Amino acid sequence: MSFIRYKKFGKKEYAYETISYWDPKLKKPRQKSKYLGVVIDKEKGIFEKKQEHISNEKLILDFGDTYLLYEFMKSTKIVDLLNRVFGDNGKYLTSLLFYKLCYGSAMNYAKIWLEGSFTRLLFDDIDLSSQRISDFLKDIGDEQTLRSFFKDYISSFTKPEDGVIIDTTSLPNQIHFPFNMWGYNDGSIDKQIRFLFVVDKSSQLPLFFRYLPGSIVDVSTLNTTMEECKKYGIKNSFALIDSGFYSEDNIKGLFGEQVEFLIRLPSNRVVYKDIIKQDIDDIESFSYAVRYGERALFVKEKEIGLYGKKGYAYVVLDPERKGRETKKLLLDAMEEPDDEQDIEYKLKKKGIMILISSFKLTKEEVVPVYYIRQTVERLFGFSKDDLKIIPLRVHKEETLRGYLLLTFISLVVFILLKKELGKKHTVENILLIMRNLKCKVYTNEILISELTKHQKEITEKLGIIMPKKLGI
């Protein structure tokens, strides 16, 4: 089965024959395309494929990465969203997204990147100088703009009906900024800003973000975050949250709003210490054994009181982790002897994690449900490692909001692209492969190089047709 697709670029329209076929290796339908030429008469099916005489080659640009991203963002309606919310600024924002995803370095290198990228032809008169970017981030960092974006994005791209995951991370930096304050970060004290994500449990897409002064602890942010969820129409049916949010007020608030929750119990709580001392002696029994992937764990349930409400504690023991931690504790204790009773308590809690829930789970469900939270950890990792969210180089609150919004939208595109690619490719890998697809720019036309085997595989996987030439 075949049909003709038309793509318009510049002043010309191009025709491609798209052929559907069954792939016996992948055992699913796929498509391949054949370039037919420039459209002369669409109704009569007349196309011009003959190569015209071209002269005056101007330059060679990176083409494949930008073109692939643009086509993908159009197909997923991201481009439509940006144009709706940001109007004339949508194209400028899109060019910054290309830079963030394709190059991911400091923003002051964006102008140099633009000189060698097809983006300069895709969007006319784009100025990616440091000052212009700073002014632009300040413009889109307007609070009303952020609210408009999140409202449109959440209603268009997500259906967060199965609950949310809430977590924070630190953005340590040395900038002079009112929100930059001293706070704890991985056991040390740094000047930092706190970055909070709310993530859709089902789609695993980020829903919105908040930024907070570095001195504010997680426990004090939950109620405001849940209220903000309501403002965006997010139904709080379930909340998966980390130990930093555990407090009497938060637990009572979740019960009061009838939000089911699962939270890790901090080890400094009295109930944690009581469970370790009283309820784990028999945990390494086969009746409590569960399999989680290639790991064997023990999970024991205990009904507890939670500030006047009934709750459940789930004690999870990882034998491998217990072995590693026990060995280290014993070696350290023999080097520097400590109180024997204290050592006995520390030995008992090695390899242990205690989860608190408002609802009953089977022992097989406990760990998989909690480790959905790794979604947020991955998002933080993508933001920091792949999208280079730090170091921060902004000095005004509006500019910070704009920069975090740029990173947030980049992350949405990154996650959508990663889902479409599957496990075989990484986003970074495919963009590097596609960057090697160059284009030659002439006076009135652009010629695109031939696709390699890997480039064909990527474009077919994403259903993107790469043109042979484009008009200017």
Sheet holding 2-9, edge to edge: 2-9, 12-23, 28-41, 46-48
In this prediction, residue 95 carries a pLDDT of 96
Q: Would the CA dihedral through 123, 129, 130, 131 be positive or negative?
A: negative
Q: Please give the pLDDT value at position 328.
A: 92
| Residue pointed to by tokens 């130990």 | 243
List per-block mean pLDDT (blocks of 10 residues) for the chain, which spans 472 residues. 72 77 70 76 70 60 97 96 95 95 85 94 90 92 93 91 84 61 50 82 89 78 91 86 90 92 93 94 95 93 95 96 94 82 91 95 91 75 64 69 90 92 88 96 91 95 92 76
Q: Is residue 221 part of a domain?
A: no
**pTM more than 0.85:** no
pLDDT at res. 81: 97
Domain count along the chain: 1
Contacts of 83 (CB under 8 A, 6+ apart): 90
* Residue 334, token pair as written in the block: 């023999």
Q: How high is the pLDDT of residue 53?
A: 45
In a domain, 292, yes or no: no
Instruction: Answer whether residue 300 is part of any domain.
Output: no
Nearest to 407 by CA among 391, 418, 428, 423: 391
The whole-number pLDDT of residue 48 equals 75
**What pLDDT score does 219 carry?**
82
433 in a structural domain? yes
**Confidence at residue 52, expressed as pLDDT on a 0 to 100 scale:** 46
Q: Is 131 within the bounds of a domain? A: yes
Report yes or no on 35 lying in a domain: no
Find the domain containing 58 and state its range.
51-140+400-471
Residues 406, 97: Cα–Cα separation, whole Å: 7
342 located within any domain? no
